[in-house]
Chain A
């Protein structure tokens, strides 16, 4: 059974640009959550999507947004990139709503220059 797939693996963007990251959850999983990982702040929750609806949101500015499609695949978008947005962005999928048995992808390493 395939795991969580995140694309691309690496990205370099310039300040002010926007970026879209993609996540394909484990087949049959309907919940997708996104996390930001940095050396200083650790793993921080961005948002959770279930049935194409955002169910929960972390404490991030409105420049961070996401969506989920009918096949449960999810994308997150960051607009007007700042240097501080450089991080590993992780996607986790769960069978159902809630954070139980959440399986993570390998992440997208975003560098903002």
Chain B
């Protein structure tokens, strides 16, 4: 079955710097890759997603890139702010399936 590896497990940056989180997946049939942000005491919040027919997607300070050949995808956050501090999860799935396979998460700390 699908396996998703996520790195790093913790990331600390200064406010205003960029942050990059990387994920690899094992099943070449996976075609949907969302990213979630989870704050303490809350459920995961969908922040951006990408489908396998697209190489890059941007939404303001957040971007995701996908390399299907290498089976990896990355989350890029520019101009980080303290409110970006949270745990970020990548996931992969087959769009025809109802389940997401999640990475183990990255705890991002943005220091003011």
- Please give the residue numbers on chain A whose beta carbons come within 8 Å of chain B beta carbons, in ascending order: 4, 6, 31, 33, 35, 42-45, 48, 50, 55-56, 58, 90, 92, 94, 97-107
Q: Contacting chain A: which of B20-28, B62-70, B75-83, B88-96? A: B88-96
* Interface size range of chain B in the complex: 20 to 34
Q: Is the interface of B mostly helix, strand, loop or mixed?
A: loop
Q: Known contacts being A98-B93, A98-B95, A99-B32, is A104 close to B102, with CB within 8 Å?
A: no
Q: Known contacts being A43-B89, A101-B49, is A106 close to B95, with CB within 8 Å?
A: no
- Please give the residue numbers on chain B whose beta carbons come within 8 Å of chain A beta carbons, in ascending order: 32, 34, 36, 41-46, 49, 89, 91, 93-105
Most buried by B among A99, A100, A102, A104: A99
Q: Is the CB of A102 within 8 A of B100?
A: yes
With A43-B91, A48-B97 already in contact, 17 other A-B pairs whose C-beta atoms are closer than 8 Å: A6-B43, A42-B104, A42-B105, A45-B99, A58-B99, A98-B94, A98-B95, A98-B98, A99-B98, A99-B100, A100-B32, A100-B95, A101-B34, A104-B36, A106-B42, A106-B43, A107-B43
Kindly list the 4 A-B residue pairs having the minimum CB-CB distance in the complex, ordered from nearest: A48-B98, A104-B43, A45-B99, A43-B102
Q: Known contacts being A43-B89, A56-B97, is A102 close to B46, with CB within 8 Å?
A: yes
How far does the Cβ of B9 sit from chain A's closest Cβ, in whole Å? 11
